Amino acid sequence: MWDDTIAAIATPLGEGGIGIVRVSGPEAMGIAGRLFQSASGANWRMKGSHRLFRGRVVDPANGRLVDEILLGVMRAPHTYTREDVVEFNCHGGIVAVRRVLELALSAGARLAAPGEFTRRAFLNGRIDLAQAEAVIDLIRARTDTGLEVAAGQLTGRLSRRVRQLQDELLGLVARVEASIDFPEEDAGFNSADDLECGLADLIDAVARLIRQAETGRVYREGISTVIAGRPNVGKSSLLNALLDENRAIVTDIPGTTRDVIEEVLNVRGIPLRLADTAGLRETADKVEKAGVERARELLQQAELVLLVIDAGAGLTDADRELIKLAGHKKGLILINKSDLGGAAVITEQLREMDSKPVLSVSARFGTGLEQLLDAIGNLVLSGAVAPAGDLLVSNVRHQDALKRCLNHLKAARLSLAGHMPVDLAAIDLREAWEALGEITGTAVSEDIIDRIFSDFCIGK
């Protein structure tokens, strides 16, 4: 437990129905006592926990009324942080909320660091690290599926599975160590077989989690996608058609788009981070040139490429060059303006080039867009599991820990199979156990914890 009390604005700054100042720590009740006057005159501090009281915040320095509020009172230990928590539910204007925060700070609280409330929840043992990470995923979720994965992790689904695997591992470690201590016991042979069996099961289980992790990551982080192609082929029109709004400027002048325009699109539950870019060509125009350079960079960085070709113009040398440039990338070739005809010929020519999957669309008339979304979904998940019902590891940090765990398990299997000294296997099994512990935070360094919570917003 901490001896200081933290405070922060927990709602977004701006105009809204309510704005909340949250205070947590041993002085939370004392601070509320100094600032809050209950409307009924009753002594709220004598009443129970988890209750709301109507009243006013008054500046103790001059007796001035600051706001009429509802005070939420939650006493330790059944609170978000496991500490005493009070929440000032103010009228949601910037000034009122800031004033109440200032008063809380001058009454003895310290401004909370990003994620510090959740960090206390973790350090006070209410949630583990994977659950704390789920909090930020939940806040940042951009699709229902992303939300579902995060919510499952917040309830401790992943943590339970990891602890289960850790228990099984400990069982193996104990047996390996027993065979070190009593090498002559003639339980010998059978138990070695047993051990290998147990180890093989564990390897399967961890490998399965890793296989599904890529899907989880996609649902959580989305896919960076770039729409690229020569000028005037209809890239911006395509972005607009997919978003169903006039987001990017469209004209019949080649070189219209200069800056990168990014939007998130929900494709079958996957957040597609779509970037419309400047048409790729040599140009003397300084501004357009900068845009083209940016587009080339994005083309290299993106995970998914949508290469657009103009059906009306036919397949040009520049198109062919672009297709080669993006050859190693996951993506689709879109023959846009298919309403103008000519798509069939281009499809045939592309088939000879043995390029990416090809689709005909018309951004202007909205044709082929559903097929496009399906194709993107298939490409990204490439037949991977649907999240419903499955436990999905969505976080790269967790994925990395699982991979290290798997490596140690495999190393242990190798030493056992090669009749190496059992101590070697025991060391690997212990390290595998620790790698799993990094996920839930039982074995994790302060640096990693700092990094995780610095990602949070203040007030969470």
Ligand X SMILES: Nc1nc2c(ncn2[C@@H]2O[C@H](COP(=O)(O)OP(=O)(O)OP(=O)(O)O)[C@@H](O)[C@H]2O)c(=O)[nH]1
The binding site consists of: 22, 87, 126, 232-237, 251-257, 276-279, 362-364, 460
Element (H, E) at 404: helix 396-417
Look-up: residue for tokens 């990551």?
217
In sequence order, which residues have a C-beta less than 8 Å from that of residue 397 and are 6 or more positions away?
A: 133, 438, 439, 448, 452
> Any contact of residue 118 with ligand X (CB under 6 A)?
no
CB of 285 to Mg ion, least distance (A): 14
SS3 at position 386: coil
Query: Residue 3 phi/psi, 5° resolution?
Result: -95, -5
> Any contact of residue 234 with ligand X (CB under 6 A)?
yes
- Between 278 and 305, CB nearer to ligand X: 278
> How far is Cα 137 from Cα 123, in angstroms, rounded to an integer?
19
> How far is Cα 141 from Cα 156, in angstroms, rounded to an integer?
17
Q: Are 173 and 426 in contact (CB under 8 A)?
A: yes
Partner that binds at residue 408, options ligand X, Mg ion, none, CB closer than 5 to 8 Å by kind? none
Q: How far is CA 392 from the centre of its chain?
A: 12
- Between 158 and 278, CB nearer to ligand X: 278
Task: State the binding string over 182-221 for ligand X (x if CB under 6 A, else -).
Answer: ----------------------------------------
> Any contact of residue 254 with ligand X (CB under 6 A)?
yes
Look-up: residue for tokens 């960079």?
297
Partner that binds at residue 404, options Mg ion, ligand X, none, CB closer than 5 to 8 Å by kind? none
> Any contact of residue 360 with ligand X (CB under 6 A)?
no
Q: Dihedral (C-alpha) 376, 326, 306, 272: value to the nearest 10 degrees?
A: 60
Task: State the binding string over 317-356 for ligand X (x if CB under 6 A, else -).
Answer: -------------------xx-xx----------------
- Between 152 and 368, CB nearer to ligand X: 368
- Between 363 and 429, CB nearer to ligand X: 363
CB of 146 to ligand X, least distance (A): 29
- Between 254 and 377, CB nearer to ligand X: 254
> Any contact of residue 364 with ligand X (CB under 6 A)?
yes
Element (H, E) at 172: helix 157-181
- Between 106 and 256, CB nearer to Mg ion: 256
Partner that binds at residue 254, options ligand X, Mg ion, none, CB closer than 5 to 8 Å by kind? ligand X
> Tokens in use for 153?
């992790």
> Tokens in use for 114?
């990003």
Residue from 362, 394, 395, 440 touching ligand X (CB under 6 A): that is 362
Q: Are 233 and 295 in contact (CB under 8 A)?
A: no
**DSSP alpha helices (H): ranges in 310-393?**
317-325, 343-353, 369-381
> Any contact of residue 223 with ligand X (CB under 6 A)?
no
Other Cβ atoms less than 10 A from the Cβ of 122: the count is: 23
Name the residue number minimizing CB distance to ligand X: 279
Q: Contact positions toward Mg ion, by CB under 5 A?
A: 235-236, 256-257
> Any contact of residue 257 with ligand X (CB under 6 A)?
yes
CB of 253 to ligand X, least distance (A): 7
> How far is Cα 397 from Cα 407, in angstroms, rounded to an integer?
16
> How far is Cα 187 from Cα 197, in angstroms, rounded to an integer?
16
Tell me the site size for ligand X, rule CB under 6 A: 23
Footprint of ligand X (CB under 6 A): 231-237, 250-252, 254-257, 278-279, 336-337, 339-340, 362-364
